[in-house]
Amino acid sequence: MSALRAAKQALRREIKRRVSALSEEEKLRQSLVVSQKLFRHPKYVSCQRIAVFLSMHDEVRTEEIIRDVFKRGKSCFIPRYESSSSHMDMLQLRSVEDMKTLPLTSWNIQQPAEDDHSREEALSAGGLDLILMPGLGFDRSGNRLGRGKGFYDTYLERCIRHPKGKPYTIAVAFKEQLCEEIPVDANDVLIDEILHEEDE
């Protein structure tokens, strides 16, 4: 195993340990702080087409964000991951109610079914203005530690080739997910900005 992979694995374990120590109340509290920051963010206010991940238990809750996206009349896209590869599409979500009817995958993530061809893929039409990025860990330079599957790095490469170009990327994070330095290699795509609760 390469030194880089070993370093990433060790850091993943450390961050998971820190986040799992947070109570549900604390996760919700920080999620609301981060959501409020996002709602005031000029890139969010001005975007029309936004991709939002559906949060897992160890991630900033995104349900309030998705509600706000629809309230403001923006187009919302959510990931559909292919478990057998690092391929991911961003498919249109029609409403908050639509979100509740999505099937669960073996990873316990809700996403549109494989045979659901009725949804627009973001890059097949107008591209994306903004992507909210999940991840396990982040540093202040914009480096991101994902779960090791490469879904977002691969998708951002597709975005870069789209006529609209690369969307602005914002990570939403618990402050426990911030690290001094994330070990990265050439394939890792930098994030434009990371939103988290500031220590007063």
For residue 169, the tally of other CB atoms under 10 A from its CB is: 23
Catalogue all structural domains in the chain, each as residue range(s) with its CATH number.
3-195 (3.40.50.10420)
CA distance 103 to 9: 30
Residue, of 184 and 48, whose pLDDT is higher: 48
Between strands 75-81 and 88-93, the pairing is antiparallel
Q: 116-128 pLDDT, tens per residue?
A: 889 999 999 899 9
Length of the chain: 200
What's the average model confidence in pLDDT over 118-146? Answer: 95
By percentage, how much of the chain surpasses pLDDT 90? 78
CA distance 94 to 75: 8
Joined tokens for residue 166:
């690369």
Q: Which residues contact 50 (CB under 8 A, 6 or more apart)?
A: 44, 69, 74, 75, 76, 77, 128, 129, 130, 131, 132
What's the average model confidence in pLDDT over 20-25? Answer: 97
The answer on pLDDT for 154 being more than 60 is yes
Confidence label for 1 from pLDDT (cuts 50, 70 and 90): low
Binding-site annotation, residues = 8-12, 54, 59, 144-152
Binding-site annotation, residues for ATP = 8-12, 144-152
Q: Which one-letter DSSP state was computed for residue 193?
A: E
What's the average model confidence in pLDDT over 58-83? Answer: 96
Q: How far is CA 96 from CA 62, 93, 161, 183, in A?
A: 12, 8, 30, 37
Cβ atoms of 192 and 35 within 8 Å: the answer is no
Joined tokens for residue 37:
């920051």
Confidence label for 85 from pLDDT (cuts 50, 70 and 90): confident
Joined tokens for residue 108:
């316990």
Binding-site annotation, residues for substrate = 54, 59
Range with the lowest mean pLDDT among 8-12, 131-135, 182-186, 190-194?
Answer: 182-186
What's the average model confidence in pLDDT over 181-199? Answer: 88
